[in-house]
Structure 1
Amino acid sequence: MSRAYLCVSIDTECDKGPQWRSQRPMAFEGVHVGIVERLQPLFASYGAKPTYLVSPEVIRDARSAEELTNIGAGCELGAHLHGEYAEPGAWEPEVTRDFQRDYEGDIEKRKLTYLTDQFIRTFQHQPVSFRAGRFGIGPRTIRILEDLGYSVESSVTPNVDWSKAGSPGLTFADAPTQPYRPDPDDPTRPGSSTILEIPITIRPRFLNLLPGIGKKLGPRWLRPTWTSGEALVRLAEDEIGEARRATPGRPVVLNAMLHNTEVIPDASPYADAEHDARAILDRLRVLLAFAQRESISVIGLGDVPEILGA
């Protein structure tokens, strides 16, 4: 029977609030407390290696950058682009609404180059993993990431259509749920890229198959933000079972996601109070305990290509 692995990929950003409004002045308690005091000790207690996908404004904050550097081998640091924070044309928005796939001309490439160069200067190594803000990859993204030296991409959200969220055509409704080499022109389809796509683990509900009401229900995310611990475990078991049936002998990869700001109060739309933030941490703890119990190693996104021999 093939082994299973779990990635926990964390979008690492400045502090937000209701409706994702950025705090003023810009604050980083989601790093200072969310990661340093809460998330990383939790991962360490399970021998787990998270991936922190770091946005430009966090990289520029000296204290946050130092704290992330000090975690060392206990985590993987990757890159995360909310394009408003990257040159050319960097600014501090109230809400990050941009989809990088919608930038004109060479703007997407220039912003990704800025992010990558900034990452290398700050952390003294090449980032290998990447996720787009708002999951907004497009037909140019994969080739740009190849040119910039990345080996892993993780913006694909299977069974989700984002076209009504402000970027017509952005849909991953038919994308695979297990890692694959994408078509550079259409990252939702397998192809021949040197990049390995590691989708977030998202599966349809049975009711999604029903006409009418089924279309109104969202799919199941491996995301402790709003999914109970028990439901996270069931989803993980379902994905492992189906993946093993579909490709016997191939390692199975699960990819859970959340934001660093979700595990402290008043820094995201999801945790208004301390008990809300603690509940998200408790649900993540249930998933990590399941992984430990089932001998599922918790690894970085950048570790997956070697495991798959891809």
Structure 2
Amino acid sequence: MPEPGSTPLRSLIAPPPSSARARFADGFGTRFIVSIDAEEEFDWTAPLARENQGLAHLTSIARFQQFCEGEGVVPLWLVDWPVAKATLAAEILRPAVTAGRAEVGLQLHPWVNPPFDEEVTPHNSFVGNLPPELEAAKLAALSAQIETAFGTHPVIYRAGRYGLGPNTARILHEQGVAIDTSVRPLFDYASGGGPDYRGFPLHPYWLDDAQTLLELPLTTSYWGMLRRQGDAIFPRLWRMPMMRGVLARLGLLERIPLTPEGISVDEAIRGIDMALDDGLPLLMFSFHSPSLHPGHTPYVRDERDLDALYDWFRRVFAYLERRGVQPTTVSGVMNNVVRA
């Protein structure tokens, strides 16, 4: 709980004031983190269901862990309940976490995370929409399971489906979580009952003046001749999705999240360039762990797609090195963020 008299936490679902922007030590430079939403397999086109908890792809996470180690990158595995309960996940990742070659955090999919006191509906799939007592109970259960499985208390959180709510900041603070990384700027999930992150900054920022809870947004950039007008133009194209492709091909406007899922290497490099031009101190990459095995996501359907995913990271890591952008970790961020 915040100390009596301390500044209350701001809402995670409202853009912060410019004064909340976080600063980092002079030697920190520009850094990046690779985050993986470590989660169960399910049909992305079908309704959510509690029984959909396939974990066949876990045999493939060791390869990506080893790949990152070879590249000098410490991956951040944001683990949800089915993965946290899986013995195989602990066997693969716990030694790397103990040795500092990997980090683990929380990812909460409420429909598969106990206690199960709510109906499984699209609205309830955004955990921030649940009653605060239930949201807190689910997070506490997940945190305890991760600590048991991986031997460390998780201090960073991502809401499944980016589903933050009005009570999430307080709940995270009460449960000893120091960083949230659920905000996805330039994306709007309001039509499905989730948050609208348009107008949110890409820079890390504090959720309170006491600087106890830090937001690390996922990195997405607009690219093209109209990028400065992207906030006004892009949302208006939802009724005309083909126009988004037309504008991108013409070099006028493109929205580029830093992920290998649906984003080409060339697009990612353009997104990196835009993020660096905007002076971001931290680039947050993300993708879903089922993409590490063919057949579990729309992005990796066969071995050729899987090879392309690894090639994507090799080429992106090489480009980041050429641009002087080095990898960092959650602990590196916490040790280098400047507190007033």
So what's the TM-score if we normalise by structure 2? 0.77
Q: Any idea what SS the aligned residue of 1:199 has?
A: coil
* Counterpart check, 1:199 vs 2:217: yes
C-alpha distance in structure 2 between counterparts of 1:199 and 1:209, whole Å: 17
* Code of the aligned partner of 1:28: L
* Code of the aligned partner of 1:215: L
Residue deviations 1:118-171 (CA, integer Å, cap 9, x gap): 11122222111110000001111111111111111100001111101333xx11
Q: What is the aligned-residue RMSD (CA, Å)?
A: 2.8
Deviation at 1:299, TM superposition (A): 1.8
Identity of counterpart residues, as a percentage? 25
Residue deviations 1:197-221 (CA, integer Å, cap 9, x gap): 0000012343636758963337210
C-alpha distance in structure 1 between counterparts of 2:317 and 2:33, whole Å: 10
* Counterpart check, 1:222 vs 2:258: yes
Change (3 A) 1:269 1:110: same
Q: Any idea what SS the aligned residue of 2:45 has?
A: helix
Aligned to 2:33: 7
C-alpha distance in structure 2 between counterparts of 1:305 and 1:162, whole Å: 29
In structure 2, runs of 5+ residues without a counterpart are: 1-25, 239-243, 245-253
Aligned to 2:267: 231
Aligned to 1:180: 205
C-alpha distance in structure 2 between counterparts of 1:226 and 1:46, whole Å: 23
Q: Any idea what SS the aligned residue of 1:290 has?
A: helix
Choose which of 329, 333, 338 in structure 2 pairs with 1:300.
329
* Counterpart check, 1:43 vs 2:68: yes
* Counterpart check, 1:287 vs 2:316: yes
C-alpha distance in structure 2 between counterparts of 1:29 and 1:264, whole Å: 8
* Counterpart check, 1:163 vs 2:190: yes
* Code of the aligned partner of 1:7: I
Aligned to 1:249: none
Aligned to 2:284: 255
Preserved CA contact (<8 Å) 2:79 2:104: yes
C-alpha distance in structure 2 between counterparts of 1:199 and 1:163, whole Å: 18
C-alpha distance in structure 1 between counterparts of 2:236 and 2:92, whole Å: 44
Aligned to 1:186: none
* Code of the aligned partner of 1:199: P
* Counterpart check, 1:68 vs 2:119: no
Aligned to 1:241: 277
Aligned to 1:136: 163
Choose which of 165, 168, 177 in structure 2 pairs with 1:150.
177
C-alpha distance in structure 2 between counterparts of 1:134 and 1:112, whole Å: 15
Q: Any idea what SS the aligned residue of 2:199 has?
A: coil
C-alpha distance in structure 2 between counterparts of 1:60 and 1:203, whole Å: 35
So what's the TM-score if we normalise by structure 1? 0.84
Deviation at 1:291, TM superposition (A): 2.1
C-alpha distance in structure 2 between counterparts of 1:121 and 1:223, whole Å: 30
Preserved CA contact (<8 Å) 2:256 2:271: yes
Aligned to 1:188: none
Larger Rg: 2
Preserved CA contact (<8 Å) 2:186 2:200: yes
Deviation at 1:70, TM superposition (A): 2.3
* Counterpart check, 1:103 vs 2:130: yes
